[in-house]
Structure 1
Amino acid sequence: MATDDLAAVLESLRPAPGSGGLADMDAQRCARALGVDGVAVSVTPGNGLNELLWATPGASTRLEDLQFTLGQGPGPEVALSGAAVVVPDLAAEPAARWPVLLPEVLALGIGAVFCLPLRLGEVCLGTMTLQRARPGPLAQTPMSDARIVTHALTAALVKDEQSWDAFAAAQDSSHFYRAAVHQATGMVSAQANVSVAEALIRLRAYAFQQGRSLLEVAEDVVARRVHFRDDDADEPGPAPGGGTEGP
């Protein structure tokens, strides 16, 4: 039953005594409990990048990767505004809202998205994005349950004042899924002599031009297979010296 799944999800997110605040979540069970096809949870330490914590495989994971690569979509909007973004029919959404993302998401077979903030006061710590193939609004009960889950997720992330600070300070640690992007952004900033924000824009643009994910391009930068020169007229290319140059 959905109620049993919801209770199990909430219990799994209950911060354990002595834990670092980052609890585990069964994403597929959460999706069942909320009556959707997929769910993803990302945190936003506040540097223009987010970190995927949990996601159901398939469309939800791909949606998060697309938003991360393109920098547009419900997740980035929620992270910026702190307000929920509810789109019950993506096919009816004006193309100008997410001009690059929208056709990609529709091609994934996603018909509706419901993105909720993980809020601590006025601060948005992250997002929980629900997606469903069938268009249409989310009923009142599952939407209320989804908000309950976001409160539990927030509590799990910030069990005490130190837990979120510790996570934010360690955001570029190697065990995080997107650690390579954090590292590559710094490398591109140094290579092209631009700000970190501009470096991220260049990484995203190059990934989109190549039809690849931002993570894949970042891994090439970190491995010195791709180098961003400091000449705006130049496209990124193979690293000089057979990929052995410094950052």
Structure 2
Amino acid sequence: MISDGMAEVLRSLGRRPGDEVMRRSAEVLAADGVAVSLLVGKGGLAEPLWWTPGVSARFEELQYTLGEGPGPEAIRTRAHVLEPDLEGVRPGRWPDLVPAARKTGVHGVCCFFLGVGGIRLGVLTVLCSQDRKLTEQQYQDAVALATGLTAALLGRNPPETWPGEGEVPQGRTMWASDGMHRPVVHQATGMVSVQLDVSLAEALARLRAHAYASGRPLGEVAQDVVARRLSFSSDTNGPYTADGGKG
């Protein structure tokens, strides 16, 4: 049975702004942060949509930049991924994310898959508090929130009218958000693909690698590429800035 607090959150879906729902959800779950990321297009790229300020925003940016972590894994496997204690994550599972997450103050992460049947929408991320565990009540509340978000995002359409794999129903999403799509990342990916003569997947991987190595968000690196301040080439030394310096 869900708590009274989560019942109130579920009743508010579609009426309150997404960020406000995240804030109230974090309170009910006694979490350090709560966020939702949604799949955009057919490339499997999950973009942060709503989050609580602070550590949650930084963690979502990490997952978005690195393309690894419990969120991407939950989307890929279509299952909840619960790691309430990052110290217990086996070496090599998320080699870049785990040390970076620790530096941001993240103790544990529980990611709940958003989707049903063959439809993948995204992931609900709950940052566990410092005691590094979810109570049974908090787990039930988080699962209920994931179910409610999925239903709201799908507009509660009956199964026979749901869209295909990786597609969110146009005009039927819960809260319109002009900030969800990051076209600059997709545009930069296309440009790097042409510059290096590689697939879009490989180009995105190169962008992410450069962003991580330079300690910058993926969106900032993409903006530099689109503005032609940063150019990738087949040179094994890596990308270069417009003035000829190392990127």
Alignment TM-score, normalising by the size of structure 2: 0.83
Determine if contact 1:9/1:25 at 8 Å carries over to the other structure. Answer: no
- Opposite residue 10 of structure 1, the aligned amino acid is L
Looking at structure 2, the residues matched to 186 and 152 of structure 1 have their Cα atoms a distance apart, in angstroms, of 35
Alignment of 1:92-131 (within 5 A): 92-131=88-127
* 1:232 CA displacement: 4.4
* 1:5 CA displacement: 4.0
Residue 212 in 1 paired to residue 216 in 2?
A: yes
* 1:109 CA displacement: 1.6
Match of 1:43 among 35, 38, 44: 38
Looking at structure 1, the residues matched to 102 and 238 of structure 2 have their Cα atoms a distance apart, in angstroms, of 30
Q: Secondary structure at the match of 1:44?
A: strand
**Gapped runs of 5+ residues in structure 2?**
172-176
Residue 190 in 1 paired to residue 194 in 2?
A: yes
Q: Which residue of 2 aligns with 1:10?
A: 10
Range moving further from structure 2, 101-110 or 232-241: 232-241
Q: Please tell me the root mean square deviation across aligned C-alpha atoms, in Å.
A: 2.5
Q: Which residue of 1 aligns with 2:76?
A: 80
**Gapped runs of 5+ residues in structure 1?**
17-21, 168-172, 242-247
- Opposite residue 24 of structure 1, the aligned amino acid is G
Deviations 1:110-168 (A, max 9, x none): 1111100002213321000100241432111111111111111111211144681438x
- Opposite residue 129 of structure 1, the aligned amino acid is T
Deviations 1:183-212 (A, max 9, x none): 211121122221110110110111112111
Residue 24 in 1 paired to residue 27 in 2?
A: no
* 1:4 CA displacement: 5.3
Q: Which residue of 2 aligns with 1:176?
A: 180
Deviations 1:58-114 (A, max 9, x none): 111111111111111101110100111111211222232111111111112211111
Q: Check 1:199–1:174 CA distance in 2 against 1; reply closer, same or farther (3 A cut).
A: farther
Aligned residues: 228
Q: Secondary structure at the match of 1:184?
A: helix
Residue 238 in 1 paired to residue 233 in 2?
A: no
Identity %: 45
Alignment TM-score, normalising by the size of structure 1: 0.83
Determine if contact 2:106/2:127 at 8 Å carries over to the other structure. Answer: yes
Looking at structure 1, the residues matched to 73 and 217 of structure 2 have their Cα atoms a distance apart, in angstroms, of 20
